[in-house]
Structure 1
Amino acid sequence: MSDIWDFFQHLFNPRWIFFYFGNTALFILLAIVFAETGFFIGFFLPGDSLLFTAGIFGEDLCKNFYNVPFFVIILIVSIVAILGNMQGYWIGYKSGNLLYKKKDTLLFKKKHFIIAKLFYNKYKTTALIMSRFLPILRTFSPIVAGAIRVDFKKFMIYNIIGAISWASPIMLAGHYLDKSFPELKNHLEWIIFMIVLMTTFPVFLKLRIIKKKKVLI
């Protein structure tokens, strides 16, 4: 039991994933990217920081995957992100009405679903692009799209644009910053902390606003 707990603790440390799994780190990366948007329980997974770290360790990923160019790694990650959103859409399409009635559990909070719906109502299908850069919303936006029966072709257009515009700049930023500043790896924990802080702050701010509105009502 303690080994499982240790694994989940380390899962939030992207650097550990690339050091510990070595040759199979890419597959762990892909599994996390897919689960983060493919299942509503994936909202807690470290998507942004993991992609940035993947960029830093890009050369190792390429060497361990048939020496492919780095853009191929980015393309694979983008495709998996697209597939994850498609899975999320399917979950929303099949069980959207049930999610409104579902009670809170350890891995499901109805408020996250409601926030994603409000976000989607405000920004429409472009929310699929914007939400890629926001934890929690990244997980629930495709589920909301499925639940409200967004046209699948329109969904796929924004899904593809969102996945590529999310994965590419974050991974490239890590990749080229590491080339310019090789000592970056020595301060990775602080960089990841800043990424998590910048991406989660807007979501927590939205949570507080909604909570205040409920109190006023």
Structure 2
Amino acid sequence: MTTPITAASQLAVNVLDAHSLLAAFGVLGVGVVMFVETGLLVGFFLPGDSLLFTAGLLCTGTAEGTVHLSLGPLLLAAAAGALAGAQCGYLLGRKAGATVLARGRSQRLREGAQRAEELLERYGHAKAIVLARFVPVVRTVLNPLAGALEVPVRTFTLWQTVGGLLWSVGLTLAGYGLGSSIPNVDHYLLPLVALIVVVSLLPVLAEVYRGRRTARTARPSGGDR
């Protein structure tokens, strides 16, 4: 018989811990977290990268513990949540305008909005929408920002779909691939998650480097006028 204390402990979920979320909600939890993180500003703190990677790892059945997920439903839930969330965030931004971001009290949220706007200005709509998926916080605020700035809906939908699939499916399969090929890989989960976050930032860092190199190359020609 389940006691009130046992029931309470089962309901206690650490939303910042991927294992806790997956143990409590399974595949459904992945879809919900993807939607909230990418569609609602209140979800900027959720562990999207680590959740996707850990969920993929748990599909292999090699990790210790009782949580085991099925890869097919997981991929569908992750992709659906990520795509629907981004589209929802865009529509909220389109309807509420820039005030939806201006009212945010979180310093991280304001910094993320600034970085998202810089991405849009520097790289254009398509590249910025795809790159933002791989940057925590920025992937939360760029969607309503794109709506507030009236990025064409077809452009946003196309590129958020491309970026959303690359991010959600890619990270999930990365976890699944490592879990399938490395015994007891869950023992190294924390450093692996850190590595995944760093790797996910590489496209943005590469674009920043490329932009600065182009700017340096253009300076001498500008000074000869």
- What residue number does 1:116 align with? 116
**Counterpart residue number, 2:21:** 17
Shift of 1:167: 1.3
Q: CA deviation at 1:96?
A: 2.0
Distance 1:159 1:116 in 2: 14
Using the TM superposition, give the Cα deviation of residue 80 of structure 1 relative to its aligned residue in structure 2, in angstroms.
Answer: 1.6
Q: Matched residues in 1 for 2:75 and 2:15: separation?
A: 21
Q: Secondary structure at the match of 2:193?
A: helix
* Residue among 53, 69, 72 paired with 1:61: 69
Question: How big is the alpha-carbon RMSD for the aligned residues of Structure 1 and Structure 2?
Answer: 2.7
Q: What percent identity do the matched residue pairs reach?
A: 27
Give the paired residue count.
Answer: 189
Tell me, what secondary structure is at the counterpart of 1:44?
A: coil
Deviation at 1:195, TM superposition (A): 3.3
Shift of 1:180: 0.7
User: Displacement of 1:200 after TM fit?
Assistant: 7.2
AA of the residue aligned to 1:87? C
1:142-161 matched pairs, under 5 angstroms: 142-161=143-162
Q: How does 1:62-211 map to 2 (within 5 A)?
A: 62=70, 70-99=71-100, 101-102=102-103, 104-106=104-106, 109-125=109-125, 126-196=127-197
CA displacement at 1:100 relative to structure 2: 5.8
CA distance in 2, matches of 1:171, 1:52: 5
How many angstroms apart in 1 are the aligned matches of 2:133 and 2:46? 13
CA contact (8 A) 1:135 1:199 kept: no
Any idea what the Cα deviations from partners look like across 1:116-144, whole Å, max 9, x if unmatched?
Answer: 11111112222111111110111111111
Once the two structures are superposed, residues 25-59 of structure 1 have per-residue CA deviations (whole angstroms, 9 ceiling, x without a partner) of 11111111100011112111100111000110125
User: Residue by residue, what CA displacement relative to the aligned partner does 1:154-208 show, whole Å, maximum 9, x if unpaired?
Assistant: 11110111111111221111101111112101221222233345557979xx9xx
CA distance in 2, matches of 1:170, 1:108: 24
Residues 96, 184 of structure 1: alpha-carbon distance in 2 compared, 3 angstrom cutoff: same
| Alignment partners' CA distance in 1, 2:90 and 2:76 | 21
Structure 2 residue runs of 5 or longer lacking an equivalent are 1-7, 61-67, 209-225
Q: Distance in 2 between matches of 1:86 and 1:36?
A: 12
Counterparts in 2 of 1:50 and 1:100: CA distance versus 1, 3 Å: closer
String of CA shifts for 1:51-73, please: whole Å, max 9, x gaps: 000110125221xxxxxxx2453
- What letter matches 2:111 in structure 1? K
Q: TM-score, normalised by structure 2?
A: 0.74
* Comparing 191-200 and 86-95, the one that deviates more: 191-200
Q: What amino acid is the match of 2:87?
A: M
Whole-Å Cα distance in 2 between the matches of residues 199 and 57 of structure 1?
20
CA distance in 1, matches of 2:19, 2:69: 13
Q: Distance in 1 between matches of 2:101 and 2:186?
A: 43
Give me the whole-angstrom Cα distance separating, in 1, the residues matched to 2:16 and 2:102.
31
